[in-house]
Chain A
Amino acid sequence: MSQIIQWIEIGTIIRSLGCCPSEGELHDLIAEVEEEEPTGYIRFEKFLPVMTEVLLERRYRPIPEDILLRAFEVLDPAKHGFLSKEELIKYMTEEGEPFSQEEMEEMLSAAIDPESNSVHYKDYITMMVIDEN
């Protein structure tokens, strides 16, 4: 048997099981599976029943492509079809559940078209969705 052990965040696991919780929802979920005195580790025996229920209830469903598009359109009321780099940064770091600097940089690296310094969100979404599959 392999002895290779990797440290994986519980949030990563939950998300890769098909769930799409918000940070707040994730926080609540973790509180449910944590030890009474948090050790920094989650025990599988505690995690399994909670997670099973989440999956059976189909909680935290992923976001359909069209809803995602509409979200971008809300941020682009003038219907330009794109968001400037500054706008994207402002929304992602000041609104909702703000990104960390690292998250912001990573998103920018893939989303921003360097020539126009903006993100054409329709294309961006299409690209990301294809990539997932």
Chain B
Amino acid sequence: MGSGVSTQHHFAFQNAEKAFKAAALIQRWYRRYMARLEMRRHCTWSIFQSIEYAGQQDQVKLHNFFSYLVDHFTPSSHNENPGTKPSGRDAGAAFGNELPESLRHLPHSLRDFLNRMFTEERSPQDSEMENCRDYESIEVPDSYTGPRLSFPLLPDHATALVEAFRVKQRLHARYVLNLLYEARKHLVQLPNINRVSTCYNEEITVCGDLHGQLDDLIFIFYKNGLPSPERAYVFNGDFVDRGKDSVEILMVLFAFMLVYPKEFHLNRGNHEDHMVNLRYGFTKEVMHKYKTHGKKILKLLQDVFCWFPLATLVDEKVLILHGGVSDMTDLEFLAKLDRHKIVSTMRCKTRKEHKKQAEKGKANQTSSAGRPSPWFLPESHSLPTSPLRPSSQKAHRAGRSSSVPCRVPLDPNELSHWVRHSVDLELERCRQQAGFPVIKEKEEPLPLASEADSEAEGRPEPTQEAWRQVVDILWSDPMAQAGCKANTVRGGGCYFGPNVTERLLQKYNLQFLIRSHECKPEGYEFCHGRKVLTIFSASNYYEVGSNRGAYVKLGPALTPHIVQFQANKATHTLTMRQRISRVGESALRALREKLFAHSSDLLVEFKKRDKDKTGLITLSDWAAAVESVLHLGLPWRMLRPQLVSSLTDNKLEYKSWLKNLAKEQFSHENIQSSLLEALYRNRSNLETIFRIIDSDHSGFISLDEFRQTWKLFSSHMNIDVTDDCICDLARSIDFNKDGHIDINEFLEAFRLVEQSCSKGYASDC
């Protein structure tokens, strides 16, 4: 019947409508759930990134500390002060005979280090790297089962090397040095800007930061194919630090570079820098894996790093460099400068110029005028144009923007030159200690005269400009807003806007820019109207599940084709929910630790907002207080539920909250909490200092050295600790009471090694 059919239809329609509505409801609910997850992911990301960049700012503090020491350390041309310990140097070198009282107690090793880094050593011998063939004398025992290399390398050797590392073998120091030596020979011939052209069939794959994560490199080769004459690769810097297999990555990259010199290209990154390596784990990894020859390897690497090309240009159209560009970037200038002179982008003060002036009989300039200005210093030493002083921003923006603040001309004898000097001296000392004959080399002519003259005339120093240009391309980050301003987060390079990119591309007739340097959740990111591509190849960089890695293939007409990956099987099986919650936990842990490290300052801020002394503050006040102390720019109110568990009347009892934070962190109840706080806050600097003091890389420093250094550091940083405290601390760490502290044990005892970091040798996450 009609009505029956229509009723059926009616019901059917009603049911369909109900199903439609039900589905819509479920979808609506689900999308909201996912959005909240997404928000959590963004928060976690912010935490990781802000902590990472805050760590980079620690480097500034460290340099500040060293400069403060240098300020009181005046070298002279007289003989060594008989009151000081002999340094074992040549007669030509000299120390101050006017050492202030405070510095007489400077640990010997630290003084040595400062001496090496901050003053020029005059040496009759200047051993050339080319003759550093130490490796030939290194014996490889028959029991060695690892890969063996012979030169010239063949493609099979390179492939075999990858395979050997995949099964966790280790390359013998002799072959490491040999490979480095050969790599250096090759790199020296390359221009600053490597020009690459694609033939019709050739494909080019560009990879970003690897940071010691060998799994990712192996994965890329597995998925994309090994390098070959038909398959070109460009690796865009930051091969080392943080991850645990930086050595192996370098070996593989160098091997393929030697095997396919025309198709395999490497750019320098800001981590290809021995100063950065001290802090971020590469130095530690090398010394751990190569106890006997590690130092030699590090010295050679120091030189190899500055021979990396600065950029790669594909078909004159696509520019590949590690960081970015600035409004002053000049490719022609970059192509011509002496890149080898830029040993480290972390600059230090030097008094060398002082000494040179004296020697040349020129008018003695006062220390402040003659001293080249340090790049990073944020405080009294810095000049008005320092990127780290907000008041200077105007002046800064008026002129140029990025890195070098110096008003006075730089010392004509470029920092890198005497660093190289001191490196050579170190090598020489190594050799002498090892019993090798001293090699008499012709003294390398020091380019003094002309540069000194130009400096006296006040003309801008070419090498200073060179240094600035290099820092810009290794450290800069793109930003959304137009313009170009100093990169205060990183402490070097600049933030460059879309107009800067556009101008550069037009000026040099380029299509787009490929850079790395920044971790991205998807492993890549386009910006500036798809004119800038960030490519990052270290997956799970912050934590398992934190991000994907990616590489880009340039196809015909150089169109980019992105491939993403995540080199951890476990993450594939986790749901997004699980991935995000894992990452979130470790980020929160790191954040809680940071909060603990600033307990005293936080208490002060809380009290300020608790005028009635109720012991309680509102959540808004809490958020404001925390941000004013930590300066991390995080959404504190969103994070609040994870950081503050209980509330009284919608307010927070701050004293007990701080106490709980402390309880989570450490187990040494007998150590004064303010001291611990200070240790936590400065731990990355402390670790770097320890490694510097431990100049023979034994892993031990003496109690005395520790005490003295800590005393100096804390007085400089205005950390209030008594002598007794330090002694107690030192003694409590000396577990076997032999007057020496095992660095790693010390760090471990106070959980100063980042526990959430699953990587073996990273000292900072």
Residue ranges of A at the interface with B (Cβ–Cβ < 8 Å) = 1-6, 8-9, 11-16, 19-23, 62-63, 67-68, 70-72, 74-75, 77, 91-92, 95-99, 103, 106-107, 109-110, 128, 131-132
Decide: A97 and B488 in contact? CB cutoff 8 A. no
Instruction: Tell me the smallest distance from the CB of B623 to a CB of chain A, in Å.
Output: 15
Which of B180-188, B236-244, B370-378, B629-637 is found at the contact surface with chain A? Answer: B629-637
Instruction: Tell me the smallest distance from the CB of B160 to a CB of chain A, in Å.
Output: 39
Check B275 for interface membership: any CB of A closer than 8 A: no
Interface members, chain B 456-505 (any A CB < 8 Å): 479-480, 487-489, 495
Whose C-beta in chain A lies nearest to the C-beta of B54? A2
Extra inter-chain contacts (13) besides given A3-B633, A5-B480, A15-B35, CB under 8 Å: A2-B632, A4-B633, A5-B479, A6-B46, A14-B35, A22-B28, A62-B29, A72-B26, A95-B19, A95-B24, A106-B576, A109-B575, A132-B33
Contacts A91-B19, A95-B20, A103-B34 given; indicate if A63 touches B28 (C-beta within 8 A): yes
Across the interface, which residues of B come within 8 angstroms of A68, CB to CB?
Answer: 25-26, 29
Can you list 9 contacts pairing A with B, beta carbon distance less than 8 Å? A4-B50, A5-B480, A15-B31, A16-B36, A20-B28, A21-B28, A74-B22, A103-B30, A106-B576
Cα separation A106 to B580 with both chains bound (whole Å): 13
Across the interface, which residues of B come within 8 angstroms of A5, CB to CB?
Answer: 479-480
Across the interface, which residues of A come within 8 angstroms of B49, CB to CB?
Answer: 4
Contacts A2-B489, A95-B19 given; indicate if A106 touches B26 (C-beta within 8 A): no
Decide: A2 and B634 in contact? CB cutoff 8 A. yes
Across the interface, which residues of B come within 8 angstroms of A2, CB to CB?
Answer: 46, 50, 53, 489, 631-634
Check B72 for interface membership: any CB of A closer than 8 A: no
Whose C-beta in chain B lies nearest to the C-beta of A76? B22
Across the interface, which residues of A come within 8 angstroms of B27, CB to CB?
Answer: 22-23, 92, 96-99
Decide: A67 and B633 in contact? CB cutoff 8 A. no
What is the size, in residues, of chain B's interface with A at 8 Å between Cβ atoms? 42
Give the interface centre of A14, A15, A103, A106 by most chain B CB atoms within 10 Å. Answer: A15
Check B45 for interface membership: any CB of A closer than 8 A: yes
Decide: B23 and A96 in contact? CB cutoff 8 A. yes
Check B148 for interface membership: any CB of A closer than 8 A: no
Across the interface, which residues of B come within 8 angstroms of A16, CB to CB?
Answer: 35-36, 38-39
Across the interface, which residues of A come within 8 angstroms of B633, CB to CB?
Answer: 1-4
Instruction: Tell me the smallest distance from the CB of A112 to a CB of chain B, in Å.
Output: 11
Whose C-beta in chain A lies nearest to the C-beta of B28? A22
Across the interface, which residues of B come within 8 angstroms of A97, CB to CB?
Answer: 24, 27-28
Across the interface, which residues of B come within 8 angstroms of A23, CB to CB?
Answer: 27-28, 31
Across the interface, which residues of A come within 8 angstroms of B34, CB to CB?
Answer: 103, 106
Whose C-beta in chain A lies nearest to the C-beta of B49? A4
Decide: B489 and A95 in contact? CB cutoff 8 A. no
Contact of B42 among A8, A20, A92, A103 (CB under 8 A): A8
Interface members, chain B 98-144 (any A CB < 8 Å): none
Cα separation A58 to B577 with both chains bound (whole Å): 27
Instruction: Tell me the smallest distance from the CB of B569 to a CB of chain A, in Å.
Output: 15
